Amino acid sequence: MQRKHLLALIAILLIAVLALAACGGAPATEAPKATKAPAATKAPKATEAPKATEAPKPTKAPKEEAVKPADEIVIYNWSDYVAPEMYDKFKEETGIKVVEDNFSSNEDLLAKLQGGSTGYALIVPSDYTAYIMIDQGMLEELDHDNIPNLKNLDEQFTKMYYDPGNKYCVPYLWGTTGIGYNNQLLDTPPTSWEQIFKAQESDPWYGRMTLLDDVREVFSAALIYLGYDNNTKDEAQLEEAKQLIIGAKKGVSGFDSDTYEDLVGSGENILAHGWNGDFLQANDDYDGVIGYVMPKEGGTIWIDNICIPKGVSPEQKLAAEQYINFLLRPDVGAMLADYTYYASPNKAAIATMDSDYTDNPIIFPPAEVRAKLHLIKPLGEFESVYQRMWDEIKSAQ
């Protein structure tokens, strides 16, 4: 090949190599793949919330502020139904002051509560009234964790028909209703309701006796005397009892549930329809001149209960439960029973008491007397018939 042809061939080859280099193909200059998005612009998955707005993980609920007991509560109670030092003792031990207000009958208590807010943290209804209140949703449920001394109750008081299991109430004291008399002014104790309902002007007690100011108690005495059920719904029987009571009014100085025992003790009166413990208690002031009998026809037996009305604040409820627990202590239960002379449902308290109390047949009636005692029962709508007749008795001349 001629030298000029060789040079031309080299020149062509050189141009071809340069042209190929200009069209790419070498790895060092590889362009980024078009489908590969840069990490920085990667879109978040649709279900993945951006970190900044992510909801906080649920943490433990904040601890509930512990309820502190109220520093003062008001109890609505029967009169002379507490040992006065009990309130002082409770205040010393807990700092909680108990203030007492009084009622004279279950009907007054019920009406007051039905009338609306009262400010009471504790009330003391009898069995049949506790039943009505529970039935009408008027009571708070008790927190048994705050009342460990419930274990001191005699078992029978945990099974009462009106509140099995003590869900709402705790039995406070129990007793009977009969006749008290002044043993200095009467040679022989009364034996029958007849002496009240059929008193003659010639009887020394005529005009010197009282009947309880209590519709169901007075009707019970009259119905039992007549030989009827003291919870009768028979209007003819009730009418007969009503006439009997109206007929007795002339010989009765009044209807009284608060001072009758003092009137007998002082000698102003000779007889009174009343509650066993009230007469025994008054004897401490009147040198034992008051006797008490259960008439041969029988009488009533009742259980009073301590309960918390609906609508109290959590602080008041706790203070009230602490008071109930205090009451159920053996020493405090004994103090209550010893002062009031009523029968205690607190077995642990009774175990600490002496035989003056435990063997007293007026406080704990023997079987033959128990057999003649009747509970007052709730009567539902029919209660209004008793109330109407009671109003007629009160207004009769």
Contacts with ligand SPD, residue ranges (CB under 6 A): 78-81, 126, 217, 275, 278, 302, 304
The two structure tokens encoding residue 98: 């108990």
Give alpha helix (H) positions in the chain.
3-22, 85-94, 106-114, 127-135, 194-197, 215-226, 235-248, 260-266, 276-283, 314-327, 330-340, 347-350, 355-358, 367-370, 383-395
Q: Which residues, 6+ apart, have CB-to-CB distance to 268 below 8 Å?
A: 208
Shortest reach from residue 223's CB to ligand SPD, in Å: 14
Q: Which is nearer to ligand SPD, 256 or 304 (CB)?
A: 304
List beta partners, residue 182: 290
Question: Residue 47 is which amino acid?
Answer: T
Shortest reach from residue 304's CB to ligand SPD, in Å: 5
In this structure, the number of other CB atoms found within 10 A of the CB of residue 390 comes to 20
Q: Which is nearer to ligand SPD, 238 or 375 (CB)?
A: 375
Q: Which is nearer to ligand SPD, 79 or 384 (CB)?
A: 79
Q: Which is nearer to ligand SPD, 275 or 386 (CB)?
A: 275
Shortest reach from residue 302's CB to ligand SPD, in Å: 4
Shortest reach from residue 155's CB to ligand SPD, in Å: 22
Contact (Cβ atoms closer than 8 angstroms) between residue 153 and residue 171: yes
Shortest reach from residue 104's CB to ligand SPD, in Å: 9
Q: Could you tell me whether strands 209-211 and 72-78 are parallel, antiparallel, or unpaired per DSSP bridges?
A: unpaired
Q: Which is nearer to ligand SPD, 218 or 318 (CB)?
A: 218
Shortest reach from residue 391's CB to ligand SPD, in Å: 19
Shortest reach from residue 209's CB to ligand SPD, in Å: 18
Shortest reach from residue 298's CB to ligand SPD, in Å: 15
Shortest reach from residue 243's CB to ligand SPD, in Å: 23
In this structure, the number of other CB atoms found within 10 A of the CB of residue 139 comes to 22
**SS3 per-residue string spanning 298-362:** CEEEEEEEEECECCCCHHHHHHHHHHHHHHCCHHHHHHHHHHHCCECCEHHHHCCCCHHHHCCCC
In this structure, the number of other CB atoms found within 10 A of the CB of residue 31 comes to 6
Shortest reach from residue 377's CB to ligand SPD, in Å: 12
Contact (Cβ atoms closer than 8 angstroms) between residue 208 and residue 257: no
Q: Which is nearer to ligand SPD, 146 or 360 (CB)?
A: 360
Q: Which is nearer to ligand SPD, 197 or 341 (CB)?
A: 341
Query: Quick check: helix, strand or coil at residue 179?
Result: strand
C-alpha angle 396-262-288 in degrees, rounded to nearest 5: 135
Q: Which is nearer to ligand SPD, 217 or 256 (CB)?
A: 217
Q: Which is nearer to ligand SPD, 205 or 279 (CB)?
A: 279
Q: Which is nearer to ligand SPD, 163 or 278 (CB)?
A: 278
C-alpha angle 223-224-227 in degrees, rounded to nearest 5: 90
User: Cα–chain-centroid distance for residue 72?
Assistant: 17
In this structure, the number of other CB atoms found within 10 A of the CB of residue 141 comes to 11
The two structure tokens encoding residue 159: 């099974």
